[in-house]
Amino acid sequence: MDDIDGQILIDFFRAAATRLDMDRQRLCALDGEIGDGDHGTSMANGFAAVSRRLQQIKGQDPAPAQVMRYAASAFIGEVGATVGPLYATGFLEAARLLEERRLATTDLAELIDAIARGIALRGDACLGDKTMLDAWLPAGQAARDAADAGAGAAQVARAAAEAALRGAQATKGMIASRGRAARLQERNLGHLDPGAASAAVILEAFEETVTEA
């Protein structure tokens, strides 16, 4: 697979939905430590809704930008929590990028950056705030570095997934400045941010999809 087309995105959302459903309880437990305990349910249900919607258009050869718009609509329609508007905005930002030009799978960093940009704009957060961006932003940088070094698509996706996991683990040493966890101040030290953890799961799903394409 040389390009990020509609089909690979449909396959990615299906893989992410499967992985998030398997990780539902762990993510809820992480969220229960510093939040209200529903992050795993929100993410699993949201991506399941996206996957169901995309399966309806699977045989229509949809444009990648259209897939991302469908994903945004389905996700926010299912998830009413804070994470709904964040990911929906990220997917719409990716749709705008994909409308501008066709991306190769080695251009994965641009897609990651677009999603992160939308999340950051909607949530007014940045690197180090102990949010999902602490996984998304390092993933984009790692993907860029791998592509610049001449890595193939699978290696670029693997670099992004590995960086997202490291970024998520690093949130244990951060004090949250956004969301419910910010109210705990120093008491959220030592706890993994659930949003960063779920972002790492999502990027693992993209690695799986690209590798198998």
Report the CATH number that the domain containing residue 139 is assigned in CATH.
1.25.40.340
Tell whether 17 is covered by a domain.
yes
Whether 1 is covered by a domain: the verdict is no
Parent domain of 95: 6-212
Say if 108 falls within a structural domain.
Answer: yes
pLDDT of 213 > 70? The answer is yes
On whether residue 31 sits in a domain, the answer given is yes
Q: What is the per-residue pLDDT for 101?
A: 87
Q: What angle do CA 56, 59, 63 make, to 5 degrees?
A: 90
Domain presence at residue 99 = yes
Show the tokens assigned to 188: 């959220």
Number of domains in the chain: 1
Averaged pLDDT, 99-109: 90
The contacts of residue 80 (CB under 8 Å, 6+ apart) are none
| Long-range contacts (CB closer than 8 Å, 24 or more residues apart) made by 91-94 | 91/115, 91/118, 92/68, 92/118, 93/117, 93/118, 93/121, 94/68, 94/118
**Residue 161: inside a domain, yes or no?**
yes
Handedness of CA 157, 158, 160, 165 (dihedral sign): positive
In tens, the pLDDT along 3-20 reads: 899 999 999 999 999 999
Which DSSP symbol is given to 210? Answer: H
Distance (Å, whole) CA 130 – CA 170: 9
Residue 120 lies in a domain: yes
pLDDT value for 187 = 52
Q: How confident is residue 31, by pLDDT bands cut at 50, 70 and 90?
A: confident
The answer to whether residue 153 sits within a structural domain is yes
Q: What are the residues whose beta carbons fall under 8 Å from the beta carbon of 146, sequence distance 6 or more?
A: 155, 156, 158, 159, 160
What's this model's pTM, rounded to 2 decimal places?
0.92
